[in-house]
């Protein structure tokens, strides 16, 4: 991996780009689908590493002149594009702090996140500026407005105006490892969205982790269907191809567009959420498609089923593998496993209710399993850990782990544990470690169901029901208050044109439940047309919403 400036007192992700621009100036950095001709053939535009470095220098000059400088919290609402990459590296070069929120979480929640970050600058496409004019009270702290695209009736600068400065080099801000680099908001899939504060040291550690773990060479080509992951590859000297898709709707992606991009650009590395993997894999198997250029596929964001992995593996060469790294906005990637180990060994155990094997800690990441508790833990003690094989909460310590949330001490208290000068992050996920040092994921801590007799964990219980061929997936929820919840399994079926005998299916599922000690206390099954899922990956199940739905459904049955 190309090293940034040799001064160990500072680190900045943008310095990797500058180094690559000097060593490989004419290599493609970012490739973008520019449009199609009358015959439907796609045309691409691109920026070389030299062009991307120069463009970000030019914009960094313009941003500085506009008042966006070191420490300026800056809302960034720009779709994946050549401009997005140039802007994000320009912001890093100036030392400004990008504030990134998933637009798919809903306008009200999104603008509330922005308000809580107290932004001082706003860079967005025209639609984003329409939103901010509708909710002016949420952006009272903003002093600088910049439009990427046509500026209509609102004030501020356009991106074209920022580019008026000559394309001279920009001295990258000498940021320290602990200096804030960005504020990345969680999706809020299990509670209020929180702004994870990323330092430049966190980003640097992530880059090194990704490059070393995946053993990626500089001659590779990446197709990242998740914009934030795409950010890392130009910094690693790897060509990044922007797919023709709506990144907030991966479950609805046109599989032909993804396959087309892989084959047109000779893509060797691809990120895909489980939902996208499923959609493209089903289409590819149906059409007998092969993707020979792909060396590896990375799927994360939610548990990935073995069936999903096996289906997509059929599109790959025998020496290619699917990696399923584990992590969260606050710490990623920290654990990983490959498809061969899943399909030949851990799959059978997962189907029996052991949980989903997420692999071993990557490099020097420190993983510990602690006793389940919903209370804050101020400082680390070794007696917090559970014995091997016991289910507890997953915690992590390492250079890539974000140390705090932005001005949210309550969230810090619940998620961060002081360990000397370091911080250990509580993942909010439950799991156990086997004798081989592998972690088995058993679900979110907040989703566990506590009855008068026992505690049920979502992933192991759901696995028993998911063995039924008519089920696409299932979700365990608890109706009522702890510790006297009623366990309910909610089933989403595979799409079929054949009529379904729901009474017979319910009996079959309850029979499966009764025959397994993990699920024998579950005596209620409900059927749901389509589960509500997260907006980032369209894969995490919103069990909180399903719980409310189940409560209403059961009341109607009385």
Contact 435, 331 (CB under 8 A): no
Among 26-35, 351-360, 453-462, 538-547, the minimum mean pLDDT is found in 538-547
| Beta strands at 296-298 and 269-271: parallel, antiparallel or unpaired | parallel
SS3 at position 130: helix
Q: What is the pLDDT of residues 495-506, one digit of tens each?
A: 987 899 999 999
Q: How much is the pLDDT for 1?
A: 57
Q: How much is the pLDDT for 229?
A: 75
In whole angstroms, give the CA distance from residue 290 to residue 312.
10
- Residue 387's CB is within 10 A of a number of other CB atoms, namely 9
Q: How much is the pLDDT for 231?
A: 80
Q: How much is the pLDDT for 6?
A: 44
Under the banding of pLDDT at 50, 70 and 90, the label for residue 7 is low
Contact 521, 454 (CB under 8 A): yes
Percentage of residues in the chain having pLDDT higher than 90:
85
Write down the mean pLDDT value for the chain.
94
The pTM for the full model equals: 0.94
Mean pLDDT of 394-413: 97
SS3 at position 369: strand
Name the residue among 234, 282, 228, 230 with its Cα closest to residue 255.
282
Mean pLDDT of 88-105: 91
Q: How much is the pLDDT for 301?
A: 85
Q: What is the pLDDT of residues 266-325, one digit of tens each?
A: 999 999 999 999 999 999 999 999 999 999 999 998 889 999 999 999 999 999 999 999
Q: How much is the pLDDT for 188?
A: 72
Q: What is the DSSP string of 497-527?
A: SS---HHHHHHHHHHHHHTSTTTTT---EEE
User: For the domain 448-557, what is the CATH superfamily, name and number?
Assistant: ANL, C-terminal domain (3.30.300.30)
Q: Where are the beta strands (DSSP E) in 220-373?
A: 221-224, 239-241, 269-271, 296-298, 321-323, 326-328, 331-336, 356-361, 366-370
Q: What is the pLDDT of residues 293-309, one digit of tens each?
A: 999 999 998 889 999 99
Domain spans in the chain, listed from the N-terminal domain onward: 14-198, 335-445, 448-557
Q: What is the pLDDT of residues 526-537, one digit of tens each?
A: 999 999 987 666
Mean pLDDT of 42-53: 97
Domain 14-198 = CATH 3.40.50.980 = no
Q: How much is the pLDDT for 189?
A: 65
Place of tokens 């059409």: 287
Under the banding of pLDDT at 50, 70 and 90, the label for residue 512 is very high
Q: What is the pLDDT of residues 9-22, one digit of tens each?
A: 789 999 999 999 99
Q: How much is the pLDDT for 165?
A: 67
For residue 483, is the peptide bond before it cis, meaning its omega torsion is within 30 degrees of 0? yes
Under the banding of pLDDT at 50, 70 and 90, the label for residue 469 is very high
Pull the structure tokens for residue 24: 């490989």
Under the banding of pLDDT at 50, 70 and 90, the label for residue 225 is confident
Segment holding 424, helix H or strand E? strand 422-433
Q: How much is the pLDDT for 2?
A: 52
CATH class of domain segment(s) 335-445: mainly beta
How many helices (DSSP H) and strands (DSSP E) are in the chain? Answer: 18, 28
| Beta strands at 366-370 and 422-433: parallel, antiparallel or unpaired | unpaired
Q: How much is the pLDDT for 411?
A: 96
Mean pLDDT of 124-135: 95
C-alpha distances (whole Å) from 266 to each of 258, 269, 332 are: 12, 9, 27
In whole angstroms, give the CA distance from residue 492 to residue 306.
18
- 322's CB contacts (< 8 A; 6+ apart) are 277, 296, 297, 298, 299, 304, 309, 312, 313, 316, 338, 339
């Amino acid at each position: 991996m190309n090293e940034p400036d040799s001064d160990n007192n500072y680190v900045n992700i943008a310095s990797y780009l500058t180094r690559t621009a000097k060593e490989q100036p004419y290599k493609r950095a970012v490739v973008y689908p520019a449009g199609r001709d009358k015959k439907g053939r796609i045309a691409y535009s691109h920026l070389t590493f030299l062009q991307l470095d120069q463009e970000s220098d030019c914009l960094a000059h313009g941003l500085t002149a506009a008042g966006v400088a070191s420490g300026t919290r800056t809302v960034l609402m720009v779709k994946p594009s050549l401009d997005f990459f140039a802007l994000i590296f320009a912001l890093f070069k100036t030392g400004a702090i990008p504030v990134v929120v998933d637009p798919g979480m809903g306008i009200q929640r999104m603008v509330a996140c922005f308000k809580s970050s107290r932004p001082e600058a706003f860079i967005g496409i025209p639609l984003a500026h329409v939103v901010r004019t509708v909710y002016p009270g949420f952006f009272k702290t903003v002093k600088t407005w910049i439009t990427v695209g046509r500026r209509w009736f609102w004030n501020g600068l356009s991106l074209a105006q920022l580019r008026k400065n000559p394309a001279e080099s920009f001295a990258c801000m000498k940021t320290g490892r602990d200096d804030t680099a960005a504020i990345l908001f969680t999706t809020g899939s299990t509670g209020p969205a929180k702004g994870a504060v990323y330092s430049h040291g966190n980003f640097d550690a992530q880059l090194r982790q990704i490059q070393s773990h995946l053993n990626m060479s500089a001659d590779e080509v990446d197709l990242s269907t998740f914009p934030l992951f795409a950010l890392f590859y130009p910094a690693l000297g790897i060509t990044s191809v922007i797919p023709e898709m709506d990144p907030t709707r991966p479950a609805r992606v046109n599989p032909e567009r993804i396959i087309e991009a892989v084959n047109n650009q000779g893509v060797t590395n691809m990120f895909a959420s489980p939902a996208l993997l499923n959609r493209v894999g089903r289409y590819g198997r149906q059409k007998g498609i092969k993707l020979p250029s792909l060396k590896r596929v990375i799927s994360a964001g939610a548990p990935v089923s073995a069936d999903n992995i096996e289906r997509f593996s059929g599109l790959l060469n025998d020496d290619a593998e699917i990696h399923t790294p584990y992590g969260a906005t606050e710490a990623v990637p920290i654990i990983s496993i490959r498809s061969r180990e899943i399909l030949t060994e851990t799959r059978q155990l997962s189907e029996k209710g052991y949980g989903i094997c997420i692999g071993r800690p990557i490099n020097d990441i420190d993983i510990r399993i602690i006793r389940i508790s919903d209370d804050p833990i101020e400082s680390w003690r070794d007696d917090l850990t559970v014995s091997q094989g016991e289910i507890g909460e997953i915690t992590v310590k390492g250079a890539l782990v974000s140390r705090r949330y932005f001005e949210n001490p309550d969230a810090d208290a619940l998620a961060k544990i002081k360990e000397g000068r370091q911080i250990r992050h509580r993942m909010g996920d439950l799991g156990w470690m086997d004798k081989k040092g592998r972690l088995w994921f058993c679900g979110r801590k907040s989703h566990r169901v506590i009855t008068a007799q026992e505690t049920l964990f979502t992933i192991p219980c759901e696995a028993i029901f998911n063995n039924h061929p008519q089920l696409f997936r299932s979700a365990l929820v608890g109706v009522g208050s702890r510790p006297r919840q009623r366990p309910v399994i909610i089933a989403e079926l595979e799409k079929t044109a054949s009529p379904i005998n729901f009474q017979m299916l319910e009996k079959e599922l309850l029979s499966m439940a009764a025959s397994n000690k993990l699920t024998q206390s579950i005596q209620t099954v409900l059927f749901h047309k389509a589960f509500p899922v997260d907006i980032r990956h369209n894969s995490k199940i919103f069990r909180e919403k399903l719980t409310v739905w189940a409560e209403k459904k059961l009341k109607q049955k009385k």
